[in-house]
Amino acid sequence: MNHLKSHWDNVYDTKTDPELGWYEPHPETTLQLIDKCNLQPNASILAVGAGTSNLIDTLVAKGFQNLIANDLSRVALDKLKARIKEVFNHDLNCVVDDLTQPKVLQELAPIDLWVDRAVLHFFLKEEEQTAYFDLIKKVVAKDGYALIAVFALNGAEKCCGLPLQRYNTDMLQDKLGDEFQLLESMDYTFINPFGGERPYVYTLFKRV
């Protein structure tokens, strides 16, 4: 994973947020699904592959106090943490960890919401995907939620120069198993900062 860490560190070190192909100034679709969870302000929310996402800013502004931002790139999380501190005077809990070989994340107390906007699709090997979904099953509490947004089957084949594994809702349900019930699924075409259309599938599951 060292080459991927270097890849992402370089991306976040050399580009501003609006120059990132996945930059979303207003993450409305993600927020709509989070709102459906009816979480309390002290709910534990883990954003995986968070990068420098302004979703975190929005959640802090909404009053959520127990946020954890994860990424493989320390450069990204350092930028995010500094911004949140400057704007909100909030000390964001950031965890540099590899979702396919998790160490710190394995030890988390049960969380109420797992949020993934666009990281799962970078895991091409079956063992990487298995590790990712095993981690969800380990850390998401009973009655907790998993929000997963990934490139749809008709989505882009590459992002940031890396090949992708694309999904539909049934594939995600199969990976999560019977412990997770699908609450909502929607197709969404994201228009990236350069005007390109990027078909996604957004899903919200509840652990039962």
Identify whether the C-beta of residue 183 lies closer than 8 Å to the C-beta of residue 189: no
Identify whether the C-beta of residue 155 lies closer than 8 Å to the C-beta of residue 200: yes
Run of H or E residues at 10: helix 2-14
Question: Phi and psi (nearest 5°) for 91?
Answer: -90, 95
Residue 34 lies in a domain: no
The enclosing domain of 185 has a CATH number of 3.40.50.150
Question: Phi and psi (nearest 5°) for 3?
Answer: -70, -35
Question: Alpha-carbon distance 94 to 50, whole Å?
Answer: 9
Residues with Cβ within 8 Å of 82's Cβ and at least 6 positions away in sequence, in order, are none
Residue 200 lies in a domain: yes
Residue 120 lies in a domain: yes
Full residue range of the structural domain in which residue 151 is found: 2-14+41-207
Residue 24 lies in a domain: no
Residues with Cβ within 8 Å of 112's Cβ and at least 6 positions away in sequence, in order, are 37, 39, 43, 44, 45, 141, 144, 145
Residue 190 lies in a domain: yes
Tell me the pTM: 0.95
Q: What is the pLDDT along the chain (208 residues), one digit of tens a residue?
A: 577 889 899 999 999 988 888 889 889 999 999 999 999 999 999 999 999 999 999 999 999 999 999 999 999 999 999 999 999 999 999 999 999 999 999 999 999 999 999 999 999 999 999 999 999 999 999 999 999 999 999 988 888 888 899 999 999 999 999 999 999 999 999 888 788 899 999 999 999 9
Identify whether the C-beta of residue 85 lies closer than 8 Å to the C-beta of residue 56: no
Residue 105 lies in a domain: yes
Residue 28 lies in a domain: no
Residue 83 lies in a domain: yes
- DSSP for 151-201 reads EBTTS-SEETTEE---B-HHHHHHHH-TTEEEEEEEEEEEE-TTS-EEEEE
Identify whether the C-beta of residue 118 lies closer than 8 Å to the C-beta of residue 147: no
Domain tally, the chain: 1
